[in-house]
Amino acid sequence: MADYDEAPTRAQITKVAVASIVGSIIEQYDFLVTGVIAATVWSGVFFKLPQYAAAAAAISVYGIGIIIRPIGAYAFGHLADRYGRKDALVYALVLMGVSTLLIGLTPSYDTIGVIAPVLLIVFRLVQGISFGAEFGTAATWVAEQAARSRFRAFWSAWVGFAIPIGLILGFGSVIVVKSLMPQEAFTAWGWRILFVLGFLVAIVGVFIRRRTEDSFVFERHRRREDVLQYPATQVWRDMPLVILRASLVNAMFGGAFFLYFVFGTSYMKAVGFAGSEPEQIGLIAAAFMLVFMIIGSWLADLIGRRAVLLIAAVVLLLFAIPYFYLVDTGRFLLAAVGEVIGFGFVFGFGYGAIPAFYTEIFPTRYRASGASAGYQIAQVYGGGLIPILAGLVLKAVGIHQAYLYIGGLVMVYAVLAIFAIVTTAETRKVDLEGIMTPSPRA
């Protein structure tokens, strides 16, 4: 774009939105595929331990890819705020694609011994670092490009659209690849195809991102020579409470994802849902999630970001336990309704506002760093801690009673999110080009 004083056209906003969503789709694809493969395949391929110990080791390797994400958020947030949103996301996608491919190519324990799990851990750490760059920086890129649009939340939500799309692609890929070969072949080598596919999509994403411009807000900011030397550090000094409040909101969604999508799937199987019925219900919920996300983003532009987020939080608070009573009926339709409300609506509707909410509460000089920090530290105590606590609960009381404790824990997360939302100012009419200096210790 030659003149950065003129607002981007709809075509230019769309181009950035499409480029931003590619890496986020890969992230969600990996989140599902890696979780499924770690739980069902890795224990026998990469670890020579007793059954439960091997399963625990495989899931732990999966978990470290989540816990490491704040480091990626810090490193790539710094790059994005100092050198540009687009360039940081190109580098992140290259790292993501390479690490995903290397995981798929890692030899088994029977081939190279203990080096196999060591390599798996290293590649999973690298993958987690690259994922730490995605959401906050991608959301910043789109929000700034659409800074003067009346539909800024809608455009920003394109990053969120990647969640249901990635889940659908992940589920679909696992189902298709499994259907093409015997289970023994899938366990031996077929699962690796899923990671090669992730690498190929990443190549396409790099090509698309390289041909896209940076946001016009950042370019104007850079021309004013307001770029900080250490933006990822400075945002923590200036706005620690804002980062904390933002993380509390996303931790709630991490809890909802685990409650309904991860634990909920296991619970369905425990109460008698046969074959692929739980996965089919998950696919239905993911499809509805995309619809609710579009509606949520539209309402976020109409009535505000906080109102949409509060509705999602209240529904999660009230529905966390009743959901399981619908599943307990053993009826496919009622369980699907429960999943659509608990997972599809809460996650989808709320995420219609999340990308705009995260980017609009930080000034341009460290917007990517702030948004990435708030989003990714929530992955540690929201996405990472809940499965650990849930494992302890499951061991202590069994799956048929665990839902009361796990549901109660997620309800606590919902209450904390409601507190964070109501104590954060509405940002629907905020001028992203005008926020250059934050309030002290805001």
How confident is residue 436, by pLDDT bands cut at 50, 70 and 90?
A: very low
CA distances from 296 to 75, 267, 285, 360 (A): 31, 29, 16, 17
230: left (phi over 0), alpha (psi -120 to 50) or beta: beta
- pTM for the predicted model, two decimal places: 0.87
Q: What is the mean pLDDT of the chain?
A: 86
What is the spatial distance between Cα 76 and Cα 421, in angstroms, rounded to a whole number?
26
Q: Which helix (H) or strand (E) holds 185?
A: helix 183-185
How confident is residue 279, by pLDDT bands cut at 50, 70 and 90?
A: confident
Give residue-wise pLDDT tens across range 90-104. 999 999 999 999 999
What is the spatial distance between Cα 305 and Cα 299, in angstroms, rounded to a whole number?
8
Give residue-wise pLDDT tens across range 11-31. 999 999 998 888 788 877 877
Q: Which residues of 229-262 are buried (b: 16+ CB within 10 A; e: fewer)?
A: eebbebbeebbeebbebbbbbbbbbbbbbbbbbb
CA distances from 381 to 248, 314, 388 (A): 9, 21, 10
What is the spatial distance between Cα 277 and Cα 425, in angstroms, rounded to a whole number?
43
Q: Which helix (H) or strand (E) holds 230?
A: none
What is the spatial distance between Cα 326 and Cα 307, in angstroms, rounded to a whole number?
27
* 234 token code pair: 């400075």
What is the spatial distance between Cα 25 and Cα 27, in angstroms, rounded to a whole number?
5
- Rounded to the nearest 10 degrees, the angle between the axes of helix 367-378 and helix 134-145 is 140
* 222 token code pair: 């850079």
Higher pLDDT, 56 or 290: 290
* 272 token code pair: 């008698």
Instruction: From 360, 381, 380, select the one nearest 370 (Cα to Cα).
Output: 360
Instruction: From 142, 165, 186, select the one nearest 15 (Cα to Cα).
Output: 142
- φ/ψ of 146, rounded to 5, equals -100, 25
CA distances from 197 to 30, 101, 138, 173 (A): 10, 8, 22, 9
What is the spatial distance between Cα 89 and Cα 72, in angstroms, rounded to a whole number?
11
CA 136 to mean position of chain CA atoms: 10
pLDDT at 408: 87
How confident is residue 412, by pLDDT bands cut at 50, 70 and 90?
A: very high
How confident is residue 1, by pLDDT bands cut at 50, 70 and 90?
A: very low
* 228 neighbors 82 (Cβ within 8 angstroms): yes
What is the spatial distance between Cα 364 and Cα 104, in angstroms, rounded to a whole number?
38
Indicate the range of 125-139, 253-267, 288-302 predicted with least confidence: 253-267
What is the spatial distance between Cα 31 and Cα 12, in angstroms, rounded to a whole number?
30
DSSP of 321-359, one letter per residue? THHHHHHHT--HHHHHHHHIIIIIIHHHHHHTTHHHHHH
Residue 214 has pLDDT above 80, yes or no: yes
Type of residue at 222? R
Q: Which helix (H) or strand (E) holds 405?
A: helix 399-422
Give residue-wise pLDDT tens across range 299-322. 999 999 999 999 999 999 999 889
What is the spatial distance between Cα 281 and Cα 336, in angstroms, rounded to a whole number?
5
